[in-house]
Amino acid sequence: MTSEETRAQQERRLRALEGYAILDTPEERQFDELTQLAADICEVPVALISLIDRDRQWFKSHLGIEERETPLSNSFCARAVASHTLLMVVEDAREHPVFHDYEAVTGGGVRFYAGALLLSPKGEALGTLCVVDYQPRSLSAWQGQALQVLARQVVHQLELRRSNRLLEQEADQLQGLIDQVPVMLAQLDDQGRYLFANRDYRQWGGLEGVELKGRRPEELLPRTLLKKRQSRIRRCLKGQRIQAEEVSEDQRILDVVYLPMDIPEGQGVLIVGRDITESRRAEAIKNEFVSTVSHELRTPLTSIIGALGLATGGALGELPDKARGMLELAHGNSQRLKHLINDLLDMDKLVAGKMHFDMTAQSLAPLISQSMKEMALFNQEYGVDLQWQAPDKPVRARVDGYRFQQILTNLISNAIKFSPKGAPVLVELTQQDGWARISVRDQGPGIDQKAQSQLFQRFYQVDASSTREKGGTGLGLAISRELAERMNGQLWVESVPGEGSCFILALPLMGNGSGSKDTGKRHQTAREKEGNRLLALHVEDDQDLQRVLAMMAREVADFDGVTSLSQARQALSEHYYDLVLLDLDLPDGCGWSLLEDIQRIKPAPAVVVLSGMEAEVPDRFHVDAVLTKSRMSDEELHNTLSGFLNH
């Protein structure tokens, strides 16, 4: 063994020792118990856990002597480590050729020494578990074995200690990370007691420096914060995901999500809260800004468009041809500016989800006819052959009439603008697979595949130069598609370059057939809009019972109450409900007759029949649950309705 190898070995050993971070730590019971056992087994007064540092031996446990460290010179243990002797036994040091002049022997009176190597899992010798006596003695074979077993236990303890330390470091790191996350985070156990909370959560609840673990929010949080929180935690413990806005004591607005979360004890709750005060304020400022800008832009535009409109409209008398041409140009462009401002405001409202839709079930043909009349005026300039193919029988859909016409106007004006003079533009209304289809077909230049995919993006125009040539804003189709989707419809294009284009608007039909789900954008139900609650229609002529049920199910559903079939039909045509709670015995007929109307709604609301006695459901109807009024418990109602929440 060369001296370099020895040095390298020594460095490896010291690094291994360092990895345990054990040197100069306080005494620990689990190590002292092992030295006590070693001393008892070997029947000696001294037992040590000796770790060999660079220039000292340091004792993690030191039974029978006061010192916690001694120099390396004249160290039995250092010798055992350097020679890598698994069990070194010196029966009488005074007689031993090497150890007889060691200071511990000559000055300290040591006669007997036995040391078992402490070997790390990688085989590095860290030190020894050793026993010492002041008189010569021998070690029986089983005592030697026992000493080695105990030495391995010392290493296990060192390993365990290191693992715990790493885990603690990771936990600290994780806590540090969670504290840095700019959201409020807290976790509750299955009894609604805190498991942890991060810094933001503690700050928000005034809980800095408070020991949270094992305590409930109601013991710690100010009353104002608790108001609705307790019921939300209770509901979340039952498995509901809840999102709600909460206002803190200092009037900050929080967006809080309660997430059911599996923990070893069962179902816990993760609370995630975000302060949205600033974004709310920014939103309010932006809305005010948009409104102000639109006003400030429109005010001068009003007189520009007005003056040009009067001049080109002939209100100022006959104009020289050249002057008329120029003024018409200016008039057209001022109109374009007006449309651009309107489009920008529409897009802004759509993106912010602020556009209101007044959805009514209505026949589409009259709306299309009206738009065709308006577009006939626009067409005077272009002179295409505008044709409108009305259907044989009424086609009804739920739309906002104004927004529906906005889409049509956009599609038809595009078709007119991109068609050669005299070419046909055909508008057709048909029904197919539960969908009303309005198609606008032109014989313009057509659109290639790549452009088709980008056509509905904001500010996209197939040919950039056409923005100026055709006078569009580049927002029309993006807005139209958004509008179509907000009305539960779809808008797309079918086109072959050179053969014209066909834009198709599809809306779910009302009043017959069934909209096949795969061709339609899924309806956004009231439940999705309002968070995890049901919007239910309760059809029941006993208003007291309506109130009682609304109370019983207040945690899962909001109820609209009606007392007759006719009111129910009206309500169903005006709103979308997740669920209909239906009494069978109503003043204007039997509840079954309403099922036909309900099953035409796509997607159909869930139906729970509430009957006075046991009711048989006729074969042709689908009912999700039947409850008997006289036997129904609070819990049964709650559980039945909760079942629809988790769909």
Stretch in the footprint of other proteins (CB under 8 A) among 23-31, 141-149, 299-307, 627-635: 299-307
- What are the tokens at 372? 């065709």
Please answer whether residues 536 and 558 qualify as being in contact, where contact means their C-beta atoms are separated by less than 8 angstroms.
Answer: yes
Shorter beta-carbon distance to other proteins: residue 301 or 423: 301
What is each CA distance from 78 to 61, 85, 111, 639, in whole angstroms? Answer: 17, 10, 17, 73
- The span from the CA of 559 to the CA of 553, in Å, is 9
- What are the tokens at 319? 């104009």
Query: Of the candidates 594, 575, 576, which has an alpha carbon nearest to the alpha carbon of residue 584?
Result: 594
Total site size for other proteins, rule CB under 8 A = 25
Does residue 401 interact with other proteins by CB under 8 A? no
Among residues 2, 3, 251, 303, the one that binds other proteins under rule CB under 8 A: 303
Does residue 280 interact with other proteins by CB under 8 A? no
CA end-to-end distance (rounded Å), the chain? 74
- The span from the CA of 90 to the CA of 78, in Å, is 14
Does residue 377 interact with other proteins by CB under 8 A? no
Does residue 299 interact with other proteins by CB under 8 A? yes
Q: How far is the CB of 508 from other proteins (least distance, A)?
A: 24
Secondary structure (3-state) at 104: helix
Burial 312-324 (b: 16+ CB within 10 A, else e): beeeeeeeeeeee
Shorter beta-carbon distance to other proteins: residue 298 or 629: 298
Among residues 14, 226, 345, 545, the one that binds other proteins under rule CB under 8 A: 345
Q: How far is the CB of 251 from other proteins (least distance, A)?
A: 23
Among residues 181, 282, 310, 613, the one that binds other proteins under rule CB under 8 A: 310
Please answer whether residues 387 and 357 qualify as being in contact, where contact means their C-beta atoms are separated by less than 8 angstroms.
Answer: no
- What are the tokens at 242? 């809840």
Give the residue ranges of DSSP H helices in 111-262.
141-180, 199-205, 217-220, 223-226, 229-237
Among residues 349, 458, 569, 629, the one that binds other proteins under rule CB under 8 A: 349
Does residue 471 interact with other proteins by CB under 8 A? no
Does residue 298 interact with other proteins by CB under 8 A? yes
Among residues 316, 323, 376, 496, the one that binds other proteins under rule CB under 8 A: 316
Stretch in the footprint of other proteins (CB under 8 A) among 180-188, 201-209, 349-357, 364-372: 349-357
Does residue 301 interact with other proteins by CB under 8 A? yes
Does residue 309 interact with other proteins by CB under 8 A? yes
In degrees rounded to 5, what are phi and psi of residue 126? -95, -25
Among residues 29, 295, 393, 450, the one that binds other proteins under rule CB under 8 A: 295
- The span from the CA of 565 to the CA of 587, in Å, is 8
Within the chain, what is the greatest distance between any pair of CA atoms? 137
Does residue 330 interact with other proteins by CB under 8 A? no
Does residue 421 interact with other proteins by CB under 8 A? no
Shorter beta-carbon distance to other proteins: residue 316 or 496: 316
Q: How far is the CB of 291 from other proteins (least distance, A)?
A: 6
Among residues 1, 141, 315, 377, the one that binds other proteins under rule CB under 8 A: 315
Does residue 291 interact with other proteins by CB under 8 A? yes
Q: How many C-alpha atoms does 567 have within 13 Å on its Cβ side?
A: 14
Secondary structure (3-state) at 406: helix
Q: How far is CA 441 from the centre of its chain?
A: 42
Does residue 360 interact with other proteins by CB under 8 A? no
What is the DSSP track for 513-551? S---GGGSPPP--HHHHHSS-EEEEEE-S-HHHHHHHHH
Shorter beta-carbon distance to other proteins: residue 304 or 604: 304
Q: How far is the CB of 290 from other proteins (least distance, A)?
A: 8
Q: How far is the CB of 381 from other proteins (least distance, A)?
A: 16
By CB under 8 A, the residues from 601 to 630 that bind other proteins are: none
Stretch in the footprint of other proteins (CB under 8 A) among 53-61, 238-246, 287-295, 419-427: 287-295
Among residues 122, 356, 421, 647, the one that binds other proteins under rule CB under 8 A: 356
User: Which residues does 254 contact at the CB level (< 8 Å), separation at least 6?
Assistant: 184, 204, 245, 246, 247, 248, 273, 274, 275, 276
Give the residue ranges of DSSP H helices in 50-102.
76-82
Among residues 302, 369, 453, 512, the one that binds other proteins under rule CB under 8 A: 302
Query: Of the candidates 87, 46, 48, 92, which has an alpha carbon nearest to the alpha carbon of residue 69?
Result: 48
Does residue 234 interact with other proteins by CB under 8 A? no
Instruction: Please tell me whether the peptide bond between 45 and the residue prior to it is cis, using omega within 30 degrees of 0.
Output: no
Shorter beta-carbon distance to other proteins: residue 70 or 334: 334
Give the residue ranges of DSSP H helices in 47-97.
76-82
Does residue 340 interact with other proteins by CB under 8 A? no
Shorter beta-carbon distance to other proteins: residue 334 or 501: 334
Q: How far is the CB of 253 from other proteins (least distance, A)?
A: 20
By CB under 8 A, the residues from 492 to 521 that bind other proteins are: none
Among residues 72, 276, 305, 423, the one that binds other proteins under rule CB under 8 A: 305
Does residue 285 interact with other proteins by CB under 8 A? no
Shorter beta-carbon distance to other proteins: residue 123 or 300: 300
Does residue 336 interact with other proteins by CB under 8 A? no
Q: Which residues make beta-bridge pairs with 429?
A: 438
Does residue 307 interact with other proteins by CB under 8 A? yes
Secondary structure (3-state) at 589: strand
Please answer whether residues 426 and 438 qualify as being in contact, where contact means their C-beta atoms are separated by less than 8 angstroms.
Answer: no
Site string for other proteins, 564-583 (x = CB under 8 A): --------------------
Binding site residues, other proteins, CB under 8 A: 291, 294-295, 297-307, 309-310, 313, 315-316, 334, 338, 345, 349, 355-356
